[in-house]
Amino acid sequence: MLLLHGTGGTERDLLPLGRDLAPGADLLAPRGTVLDPAMPRFFRRMRGGAFDEDDLIARAAELAAFVAAAAKEYGFEAGGLTAIGFSNGANVASALMLLHPEAISAAILVSAMPPFRRPPGVILTGHRLLISNGLRDPLAPPSLTQRLVENFTSRGARVDVLQHPGGHQLAAAHLPVMREFVNGSDPRVTP
């Protein structure tokens, strides 16, 4: 599993979640290399929270290269990874799948929004996503969740969505479905 923290986090933040979702699984958890202003992130943003898409493209390429190097070093199949990202980490996981679909085959995106105004026209048949967003998230409101879903389903990916009544956070109630997803089962998502 590839664990990608949110803004201000570290490579250790999602380790407990990774261990909970897939006990005994190998965990790869890099730290974002961009500082904003002193908080680690995976890519830059501009004023008003808008993404610096050029930087995001470059950082997604760096992350893909990191995954490929780690696969060689540790002897795993890069394309078989499931990414789990929170906020900034979820957004870079989305960009990674859209730009380098060979790097990951599945992703759990928590508090995610669309990474690109105009996403690339890649084919994502066989890729899976589980999106867990809050209905009161000021950064990733339901309208952006719907746009994110459309960005992936229109490219052939299978997407399941979980929504909780809260804001920009991980919902404990979603953990059982996340476990099913990580284990390769079709998650039991109810509308």
Write the pLDDT tens digit of every residue in 157-174. Answer: 999 999 999 999 999 999
Q: Which residues contact 71 (CB under 8 A, 6 or more apart)?
A: 77, 78
Q: Which residues contact 16 (CB under 8 A, 6 or more apart)?
A: none
Whole-model pTM: value is 0.95
DSSP E strand boundaries for the chain: 2-4, 34-35, 40-41, 82-86, 106-110, 128-134, 158-164
Superfamily of domain 2-182: Alpha/Beta hydrolase fold, catalytic domain (3.40.50.1820)
Q: Would you please indicate which residues are annotated as catalytic (active-site) residues?
A: 87, 137, 168
The DSSP symbol for 51 reads B
> In DSSP terms, which residues pair with 163 in a beta bridge?
133
Query: Residues 92-142: pLDDT tens digits?
Result: 999 999 999 999 999 999 999 999 999 999 999 999 999 999 999 999 999
Residue spans per domain, the chain: 2-182
> In DSSP terms, which residues pair with 40 in a beta bridge?
35
